[in-house]
Amino acid sequence: MKVLHTGITEPKGFQSVGKHVGLKSKKKDLAIIYTEKPAVWAGVFTKNIVKAAPIIRNIEIFNNKNKIHAVVINSGNANACTGEKGIVDNQTMADTLAKCLNLKSEEVITSSTGVIGTILPIDKIELGIKNSHHCLSSNRQASVSAAAAIMTTDTVSKEISVSFEIDSKTVKIGGMAKGSGMIHPNMATMLSFLTTDVNISREMLINALKCSTNDSYNMISVDGDTSTNDMVCIMANGEAENNIINCKNDDYYKFKEALDVVNKELAKMIVKDGEGASKFIEVQIHGACSKEDSKILCQSILNSSLVKTAFFGEDANWGRIMCAMGYSGAKFDQDKVTIKFKSKFGNITLMDCGTPIIFDEEIAAEVLKAEEIVIHIKLQDGTEKAVGWGCDLSYEYVRINGEYRS
């Protein structure tokens, strides 16, 4: 497998475009992804009961098992909590692109991200779609522009692609994502759009995406908030022309492995771009009695505001980690817990088999100076493990979100 520094237009047959159409003052705010050949697709959607208009419609299309050709995304406005007007405007987005590309409306899905509760300026979006679809391309700049157009408070765009072999055919997966705040492991809690030219059945694509999401986007946390618009979408147009993957054979697991690489890297990019974040934190749990317990422990540590603020202050307050583990609901023996901190500046053991270690505060401070830190936790309750990613909580996070509508 080769990891490439490209995005959604890397797989065969996919085109994209990103443009400024007026929802934001200057930056790009409309993206389109298109494949001429119809694509089977899978989606994972927010678990927030309050769902934005695009999510409601996309779930309906997904349940109808339609193939799709295109996705249209706007940033700068979430089209959430906008009532019947929001539903109509979202349908207009799909209808407009469908007409421009000579498609059926149900072959187009939609996505919006931005401020909740503000009516979508649909006239600008309609005109933007009509002026932008002519610029669809498979070149590198097309991918870059689309990734930029879905950003909100992100400081950098997020793209990745991979290349691998199935049946002596070259298969590729490309991805772009946005996310910086309102990130919490309760589905994907951001937007991620994936393209692939693999030939795969709908059932196997759905299975692969759900499993991959659970080990990637569901294992990240920035601030504990689950948004109204979040989804992961993957389109597979089959242009790699490999033998169809319709069961969990070796080809399926090869595809799933590549999909995991894409999703985990995008997930980590989101955390590293967390609003106001100064530390990237990886939590490793080893020796849990069940997979579920290992994930619960991991997520509880990453979601703890006290743990986050301790890392912002570069304070080796491991007691906050034990506390977060204790209220998580997972089962473990507190008398057999080992905790270590690791970074490029060294490592330090803080607890060994349930016994606190008198550690050198200067060494701990040196380890915690790094921008990327690993919390390694060894249990003695079983053989299961999990890895998750998060960040610290800073003054800057409060400033950014306090001024979000300003």
Catalytic residue annotation: 189
Tokens of 404: 């979000």
Question: Where is 146: in which H helix or E strand?
Answer: helix 140-149
| Residue count (the chain) | 406
Q: What is the largest CA-CA distance in the chain?
A: 70
CA–CA distances in Å: residue 205 to residues 43, 139, 200, 218: 9, 26, 6, 18
Q: What is the full DSSP assignment across 67-99?
A: -EEEEEEEESB---S-HHHHHHHHHHHHHHHHH
- What is the CB-side half-sphere exposure of residue 277 using CA atoms within 13 A? 31
Cβ partners under 8 Å of residue 115, min gap 6: 76, 77, 78, 404, 405
Three-state DSSP class for residue 272: helix
CA nearest to 216, candidates 44, 351, 47, 404 = 44
Whether 186 contacts 228, CB under 8 Å = no
